Chain A
Amino acid sequence: MKSHLPLLLLAPLLLIGCAAKQNLIVLTPDNSGRAGALELNNAAGKAVIEEGGKAVTLASRQSRPEQASLSEAERTSLFGEALAVQPLPPVSYALTFEFGADALTPASQETIPKILAAIKERDSLDIKVIGHTDRVGEEAFNHALGLERAVVIRDILIAQGVEAGAISALSYGEGDPLVVTDDNVPEPQNRRVEVVVR
C-alpha cells in the first residue's frame, strides 16, 4: 500500500502536464538560426509567435498562447514519428556542355555520381532533366539542342540503372538563362542541363 503513494501523488501532476500540452506550437529555426514569425488569430485576439525553439501552448480557441518549456524527451515523444517520415528536400544540379556540342565538361562528368546518389537516397521516381542553351543561333534550333542535351543526360542516367519512367526530359531552349545576355552572345554557363531530383 505504502509503495503506491508516490504514484498516486504523481498522477494529478501528469494529468495537468497533458492538459497544458493539448495544443502546442513551436517554431523551429532554419540552419542559419532564423525562426520566422507566425500570427495566431482566435477568439482571444491576435498573438505573434516569433521565438525560435520555444513552445507555446493553449487550451482552446478561447485562450491566449502561453510560453512553455519543451524538453528534448517531450519533443521526441510528440514529433518523433512525424520527423521520421519527413521527406528529403528536392535537390537540383547543373551540368554544363562544351560549346555547340552535346559533350559534357569534365567537371560535370563528376557530378553524375552525385545525382545518382541523390536519386537513390530519395528512392525518387520524380526526376526532371531540363536542357538549356545560350542565345547563339535560332530559337527553334536552340529548343532542339536543349532537348538533345536533356536526352543525353537522361540516357546516361538510364545506363546507370535509373528507371526510364522516372525521368522526364524537356527543353527550355534559350528561354530560361542562368546569365541574361543579348541575342547571339555565347555564354558557357547557359549551356547546361538542370537535373531536379524530387
Chain B
Amino acid sequence: MKKTLILHCLFLLAVTAGNAMAEERQIGKVKALRGLVSIIRDGRTIPAFPNKAVLLSDVIITGSDGAVGILLDDNTLLSMGPISRISMNKFDFSPATNQYAMRLGMQQGSFVYRSGLLGKLAPHAVTMDTPVGTISMLKDSNFMAKFSEE
C-alpha cells in the first residue's frame, strides 16, 4: 500500500514537472512595442516589454493604444495592432529531428504575419485558429488579417 502511494506521488510529480517544462518553453521574444501590451501566463497577467521572452501557451493582448511585434524562434515575424489577442497554442521548430508545428489562435484584432523557416520548411505544419474558421498554410505565405471577436 505504502509502495503504491509512493509510486503515485512519483507519478504525479513527473506529470507536474512535465507540464511545467512544457509551459516554460521559450518560443520567441517581444521585439517592439507601443502602448499597453500584456501577457497572460499561467492565469496571471504580466506586462510585456522589449526583449521579454514569449513562452509556449502564452496569450498576448494589446490595449486600445497597444501594438506589439514578436520574433519567433524560427524567424517568423508576428505583429498585431490595438485590441488584439493571440494565443501561442503550439510551436515546435526542431530541424535536427525534423519536427515542425505551429498553431496560433488569432482570436481578435489585426495581425501581420511574415513567414519564417516553419513556413518555408513545413508550410503544412502551420495553422491558425480564427473566429471564422481554421486557416492552414498550403504554400509558404505572408498575410495580414483582421478578425472580430466571435
Query: Which residues of A line the B interface, CB within 8 A?
Result: 21-30, 34-43, 48, 50, 58, 60-61, 63, 75, 78-87, 89-90, 122-123, 125-126, 198
Q: Scan residues 126-150 of chain B and give those whose CB is less than 8 A from a CB of chain A.
A: 130-148, 150
> A25 to B131, Cβ gap below 8 A?
no
B77 to chain A, nearest CB (A): 5
> Given A41-B133, A78-B81, list of 7 further CB < 8 A pairs?
A23-B130, A26-B144, A37-B141, A42-B134, A79-B146, A83-B79, A89-B114
A58 is contacted by which of B31, B77, B132, B150 (Cβ under 8 Å)? B132
Contacts of B32 in A (CB 8 A): 85-87
A35 is contacted by which of B33, B123, B141 (Cβ under 8 Å)? B141
A169 to chain B, nearest CB (A): 19
Contacts of B47 in A (CB 8 A): none
Contacts of B142 in A (CB 8 A): 27-30, 36
B41 at interface (Cβ–Cβ under 8 A)? no
Q: Scan residues 100-137 of chain B and give those whose CB is less than 8 A from a CB of chain A.
A: 110-112, 114-115, 119, 123, 130-137
Contacts of B123 in A (CB 8 A): 36
B77 is contacted by which of A25, A87, A123 (Cβ under 8 Å)? A87
B133 is contacted by which of A40, A75, A78 (Cβ under 8 Å)? A40
3 closest cross-chain pairs (CB), A and B? A42-B133, A36-B141, A87-B31
> A123 to B138, Cβ gap below 8 A?
no
> B69 to A86, Cβ gap below 8 A?
yes
B55 at interface (Cβ–Cβ under 8 A)? no
Contacts of A89 in B (CB 8 A): 75, 77, 114
Contacts of B71 in A (CB 8 A): 87, 90, 198
A125 is contacted by which of B51, B68, B81, B143 (Cβ under 8 Å)? B51
> Which bucket holds chain B's interface residue count?
35 or more
Whether A23 contacts B147 in the complex (CB less than 8 A), given A79-B112, A82-B112, A126-B29, comes out as yes
Main secondary structure of the interface of A (DSSP, over half): loop
Contacts of A58 in B (CB 8 A): 132
> B75 to A39, Cβ gap below 8 A?
no
- B119 nearest CB neighbor, chain A only: A36
A68 to chain B, nearest CB (A): 12
> B110 to A39, Cβ gap below 8 A?
no
> A84 to B110, Cβ gap below 8 A?
no
Contacts of A27 in B (CB 8 A): 141-143
A23 to chain B, nearest CB (A): 5
